Amino acid sequence: MYIGIDLGGTNIAIGIVDDNAKIIIKGSTPTFNERNYQEIVKDMADLSMELINKAGLKVEDIKAIGVGSPGSIDAKNGIVVYANNLLFNNVPLREELNKYFDIPVAVENDANAAALGEYKATGVESECFVAITLGTGVGSGIVIDGKIFRGFNGAGGELGHTTLVADGVLCTCGRKGCWEAYAAVTALIRQTKVAIEKHPESLMNEIVKKNGGEVSGRTAFDAAKQGDKVAQTVVDQYVKYVADGVTNVINTFQPETLVIGGGISREGEYLVNPVRQYCEKYSYTKGTLPETKIQAATLLNDAGIVGAAFAAKELIG
Amino acid sequence: MYIGIDLGGTNIAIGIVDDNAKIIIKGSTPTFNERNYQEIVKDMADLSMELINKAGLKVEDIKAIGVGSPGSIDAKNGIVVYANNLLFNNVPLREELNKYFDIPVAVENDANAAALGEYKATGVESECFVAITLGTGVGSGIVIDGKIFRGFNGAGGELGHTTLVADGVLCTCGRKGCWEAYAAVTALIRQTKVAIEKHPESLMNEIVKKNGGEVSGRTAFDAAKQGDKVAQTVVDQYVKYVADGVTNVINTFQPETLVIGGGISREGEYLVNPVRQYCEKYSYTKGTLPETKIQAATLLNDAGIVGAAFAAKELIG
């Protein structure tokens, strides 16, 4: 058994995970991210202990703990180098957790952990696997020969920060035209707002009004499904942005499987199928070789827990 | 000792390479690429034998042979699946070479082999290494943990075919706006021609006239070095295209070292230094972590031979 901790800016989700990637029990507690790390880690430890007890287990049953944290991670030393939305700066997460549990602790970037979780969920031992998460940003994690790929300095796999449109929309990273600036849900919301402003007659406007004025990542998809043409244009353009970046990922990695996660992946085949068609048409190999399987993520919110647990398993070999 | 064969559309270059990546002896023979593969492989075998004799070696001194070939390669089975400029279709290169030499034969994509050669030339055991070749296209090879990265179907690492400019210039691969369509030497020549047409007063025009009317990858660089402002604009824009793609590669792989090869890399620091500056400014990590070392390729034309030899060495473990 392993403990997997998905540390987010809002919530800490924790689960006890077995060797088959099954979550035995899980729970969550608010992060209250303005606190210092010692208090946050204490809550992690308390909830972990609570879950161990609830599951009728003993501390000795837990072989290792894994934590998926946002930000830049020094996985070797178990340190969160920097995490913007946690006010973390060189936080020795492993050392601090070891004050409560004297077992190995893996610290991993959250997108990497989620990718490892989704990889385990496929049940296939791929040579190469990529998970893309469409959310506030475009996150990504790459698994090569069963191990998370991090590059030499631990910061590899920032696929959201590869150019899609040279000199395009300014990205949060300071560059212009990153994939993230076009394919994140934040970007879809921006694209939806622009379309509503131009076409106030669109069904999207009604949906937004019913929704208390809030434009979400679902607005355009919902209206398009009801036949709204303006919404369909927004969806088509957004899908093209997603697919263009996915094609880049395929030409780069030729992963056996590529999963698309994040809230928007709940659209399922409505999102994934056109992406698949685009990639089949434009990928470098175009069907001359076995193609990457593109599918919606299956674990979604649980991917972080399962992946963190497997990062722990990987750590102890 | 290993034999490294760099099979090109025009020439076949062959070298005998020792365990330290040193070429003991080398030679070349025309490919005459309209011939069938049996004749081409016979020439490979004859030249290899000639080099073995010239070097005062015996066939028994050669542990394995590696061939770097253009096109899609089935490395597992030693087959060239398809190579456009060789008229090769499912050619059993290993099997055919084994008719002459009864030793292990590795068959590798030429860009991958060249990358492995440049990797060995750095003398550093990087976790991740990337070589970019700016030529007719933009070739690339990725070495992870000392092994060539190929993706699950062998076609990975086509970094030249990732979008730089959505809906931009049509690429040979059928997509629009690939990095290759902007950063290949072919693209630089196109960009130079456009500038000369607009500005016939540019020094570039004189250089071209002296050169028998031929625009080359050097035209803009040569004129810029002599103070021609229009040429400088061409060079600056080209360097930006190269650097933008290199930044994408860094954000994706965070390689310890990235080398830029191809004829144009003979411009050395004049090309590499501005690329380095751009990447320092725009890469995702921006100096918060150790940075990728960007340098000009060192082996250049010999990279294919050395890399093919080391692919052979890798094959026999």
Tens digit of each residue's pLDDT (9 = 90 or more) over B218-261 = 999 999 999 999 999 999 999 999 999 999 999 999 999 999 99
Q: Which helix (H) or strand (E) holds B270?
A: helix B269-282
Mean pLDDT confidence for B134-145: 92
pLDDT at A288: 78
Is the distance from CB of A23 to CB of A272 less than 8 angstroms? no
Query: Which residue in the set B155, B161, B255 is minimally distant from A152, CB to CB?
Result: B255
pLDDT at B300: 83
Q: On the CB side of A179, how many CA atoms lie within 13 Å of its CA?
A: 29
How many CB atoms lie under 10 A from the CB of residue A60? 9
Identify the sign of the CA torsion A158, A163, A169, A175. positive
Chain A residue with minimal CA distance to B143?
A151
Query: Which residue in the set A173, A251, A256 is minimally distant from B162, CB to CB?
Result: A251
pLDDT at B286: 83
Mean pLDDT confidence for B295-309: 94
pLDDT single digits (tens) A23-63: 999 999 999 999 999 999 999 999 999 999 999 999 999 99
B102 beta partners = none
Mean pLDDT confidence for A95-119: 96
Predicted confidence band of residue B303 (pLDDT cuts 50, 70, 90) = very high
Is the distance from CB of B257 to CB of B129 less than 8 angstroms? yes
pLDDT at A118 over 80: yes
pLDDT at A5 over 90: yes
β-strand pairing of A128-134 with A79-83: unpaired
Helix residue ranges per DSSP H, A147-200: 180-183, 185-198
Collect all residues with Cβ–Cβ distance below 8 Å to B305 and sequence separation of at least 6.
B4, B5, B6, B13, B14, B15, B17, B23, B26, B117
**ipTM of this complex prediction, to 2 decimal places:** 0.91
Mean pLDDT confidence for A219-244: 97
A150 contacts in chain B (CB < 8 Å): 254
- Cβ-count burial of A297 within 10 angstroms (0-12 exposed, 13-18 middle, 19+ buried)? buried
pLDDT at A257: 96
pLDDT at B87: 84
CA dist., res. B261 & res. B121, Å (int): 13
CA dist., res. A131 & res. A110, Å (int): 12
Asked if the Cβ–Cβ distance from B288 to A72 is below 8 Å, we say yes
Mean pLDDT confidence for A191-201: 98
β-strand pairing of A2-7 with A64-69: parallel
Chain B residue with minimal CA distance to A143?
B151
pLDDT at A71: 84
**What is the pTM (predicted TM-score) of this model?**
0.92
pLDDT at B141 over 90: yes
Query: Smallest Cα–Cα separation from A207: which of A270, A196, A197, A266?
Result: A196
Pick from B124, B138, B289, B293 the residue to mutate for testing the A interface (most A CBs within 10 Å): B289
pLDDT at B289 over 90: no
Tell me which amino acid residue A275 is: V
pLDDT at B22: 95
Predicted confidence band of residue B15 (pLDDT cuts 50, 70, 90) = very high
A-B interface: how many C-beta pairs under 8 angstroms? 131
